[in-house]
Every structure is written in C-alpha cells, then in structure tokens.
C-alpha cells in the first residue's frame, strides 16, 4: 500500500487516523539520527581523523546496502582505536543534541502511560545518558571496550560481549522489542516503533504502529507513518494524546 499525504511533510499508510496514544503500551526508539541529531560512531571517528571513512560505512548500512550489519559495525569500531573517553565526552557535550520534538513526544507517551524503550546500534556511553535525561525505562545498545594499563582511557577498537549477545543489530532490536512486550504482558501490536535506518525495520515490522523520521527511502516506504518535515512530535498529529 503506497504512502498517502496526510499533511505537508507527513504521510501515512495502513490505518485511518487519528489513533490514541492510550491504545498503546510501549514506544521503542532508535537513537542515532532519530532521538538525537548525530551518528555517534561517525563523530567519535572524527577524533581519530577517520570520520569520512566511517561515515561512508554508516550511510551504506543505514540504507540497507550492507547485508552484515554486525561486521560493518566491527569495521567502524576498529577504526576508533586510540580515541579517548575524553574525546567521547566532547562528542556528548559539544555535538549531541536531542532532535526537535523528541522530548515532547517522549513526555507525551509517558503521560499517556506508555513504557519507553531505547534500542540502538550505538553505544552505552551515550544511550545511558539519553536514558537518564529522558527517563526512559529500558535500553539495549553496545559497549565499547576501553584499555586498562598504560593506555587507560583509550578505546581498543573492539566491543564487549554482553549477557544477551555481542552486537545490537536489527535482529536484536526486534528481539528486545518482543522481549519487552512479553515482560509487560502486552501484544506487539500495542507497541510503537520509531526509527530511520534499515536496522530499525525488523522492530518496526513487529510493532502495531511504525514511524520513519527523516528516514532512508527503504525505511520510509515500509513505515506506517513517514515524517519528512518537522519534529518527532509530529507523530502526535496522527496518534493523539
């Protein structure tokens, strides 16, 4: 079913608005280029003088042109070796901002009783801070390994395996969405999923409502709501508080 224009810069398919937020119980967000304005891995790479190389891989992965997302992330993280925790702190304090409408949408969902989930192919250094800033209930993302000893405080160029697995890719985002729904005792159709890249499609496909925000073409085409102009809070035009 093709997307149809609902309002300038906002298209819908597969449902008739308005819906109500209270009909949903969970909202899941991607982080990089969705809740926040940057791709953190690209900005970290800038400190190593490798932003252009890393950003090209990120762009291809988000467009869905790289079949193995995990390998693409390992390649990018390997190029971060030697970047310091202080460099990442500067990315957070000087470059990272919440995208327009992010805080308003999260607060509206919370006020309507929805639980909130942040699932990211990015890193806990940033997701933990966004979680705390917005009061998000659940998160899943990747852990960057940090050197000890003489190079204490520098990235090793690797990630740390976690109890749930090695890397949060599209399959893991989907699994985390379904696990969270099961833990809450709700049907996935009572979940909203918001993202912009190809690795968000697996979770968006499980949710009862999916939104693509300033997304790659493939994601925009498959989402139920596509926002091409304005902030994340434009979802509230079709899902009323």
- Active-site positions read 30, 32
Question: Can you point out the beta strands (E) in the chain?
Answer: 4-7, 10-12, 19-20, 26-29, 115-123, 138-146, 155-160, 191-195, 209-213, 225-227, 239-240
SS3 89: helix
Burial class (CB in 10 A: 0-12, 13-18, 19+), 45: buried
Rounded alpha-carbon distances, angstroms, from residue 146 to 42, 121, 149, 175, 202: 18, 18, 10, 27, 30
Q: HEC states along 133-145? A: HHCCCEEEEEEEE
Asked if 116 contacts 27 with a C-beta cutoff of 8 angstroms, the reply is yes
Handedness of CA 73, 193, 91, 49 (dihedral sign): positive
240 strand-pairing partners:
20
HEC secondary structure over 206-222:
HCCEEEEECCCHHHHHH
């Amino acid at each position: 079913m093709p997307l149809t224009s609902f309002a300038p810069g906002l298209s819908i398919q597969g449902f008739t608005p308005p819906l109500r937020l209270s009909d949903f119980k969970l909202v899941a967000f991607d982080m990089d280029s969705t809740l926040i304005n940057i791709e953190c891995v690209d900005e970290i790479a800038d400190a190593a003088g490798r932003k252009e190389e890393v950003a090209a891989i990120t762009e291809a992965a988000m467009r869905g042109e790289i079949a193995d997302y995990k390998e693409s992330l390992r390649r990018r993280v390997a190029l971060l070796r030697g970047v310091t925790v202080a460099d990442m702190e500067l990315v957070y304090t000087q470059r990272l901002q919440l995208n327009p409408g992010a805080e308003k949408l999260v607060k509206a969902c919370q006020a309507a009783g929805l639980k909130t989930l942040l699932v990211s192919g990015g890193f806990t250094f940033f997701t933990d801070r966004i979680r705390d800033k917005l009061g998000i209930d659940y998160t899943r993302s990747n852990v960057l390994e940090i050197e000890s000893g003489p190079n204490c405080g520098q990235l090793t160029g690797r990630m740390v395996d976690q109890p749930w697995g090695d890397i949060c890719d599209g399959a893991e985002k989907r699994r985390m969405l379904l696990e969270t729904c099961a833990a809450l005792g709700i049907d996935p159709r009572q979940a909203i999923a918001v993202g912009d890249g190809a690795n968000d499609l697996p979770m968006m496909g499980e949710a009862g409502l999916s939104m693509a925000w300033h997304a790659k073409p493939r994601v925009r085409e498959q989402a139920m709501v596509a926002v091409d102009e304005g902030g994340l809070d434009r979802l509230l035009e079709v899902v009323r508080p």
